[in-house]
Amino acid sequence: MQKEEIELIKNAQHGDMVSFEKLIYQYDRNVLSLAYSYINDQDDAKDIYQEVFLRVFKGLKRFEFRSEFSTWLYRITVNVALTYRTKKRKYAYASIDEEQTNSDGESYNTYEAIADDASSDEKAISSDISENIKDALDKLSPQQKMVFSLKHFEEYKIKEIAQMMNLSDGTVKNYLFNSTLKMREYLKDFER
């Protein structure tokens, strides 16, 4: 841990909000990315992000420098993501004729957007691939999904994942091995 980060943490532990905001700024993209890689929904990832930093704010005084701050933060993120998924089962279906709003706030009709797009076949194939991968991931246990996502989407090393999830390296390797086998099995019939 760098001296500057230690100083920020100590100041934040004593109520310095500017120091706390600087800590958040250093890690906010990583936390959001980690949450998104597990949940695969921007709004839900933002909810997890908010919950993580709320917990960090409440628990920062108990941080004792026994591990890296990032390890402690990512462990909180993993725990929040795991519990969030079990608490919220979201099944949303939208009509193809229903008005939608994109991330820029613009309204569009899904049917018209598909019909107007010259590359709709490519998008459909890409969407199909993504949907099959998402479905296969959703069949994994929460721990397997988290390990698989951290390793393959976030590119963390096994030792880092073990620290984040508070598991042994062997357990992480076991989750990774089993999740990889299951993903291959779930996706074996899918042809591009």
Tens-place pLDDT, residues 15-73: 999 999 999 899 989 899 888 887 878 888 899 999 999 999 999 999 988 888 988 89
In this prediction, residue 122 has a pLDDT band, given cuts at 50, 70 and 90, of: low
CA-CA-CA-CA dihedral for 20, 26, 30, 35, to nearest 10: 10
pLDDT tens-place string over residues 151-171: 887 778 888 888 888 889 999
Opening angle at CA 36, ends 24 and 79, nearest 5: 70
Strand positions, DSSP E, the chain: 99-101, 107-109
CB atoms within 10 A of CB 11: 16
Q: At which of 55, 87, 119 does a domain end? A: 87
Render pLDDT for 92-115 as a digit per residue (tens, 0 to 9): 344 444 555 555 566 655 445 544
Residue range of the domain that includes 148? 139-187
Residue 181, domain CATH: 1.10.10.10
Mapping DSSP to helix (H, G, I), strand (E, B) and coil, where does residue 100 land? strand
Specify whether 77 is located in the same domain as 149.
no
Total of domains in the chain: 2
**80 and 154 assigned to the same domain:** no
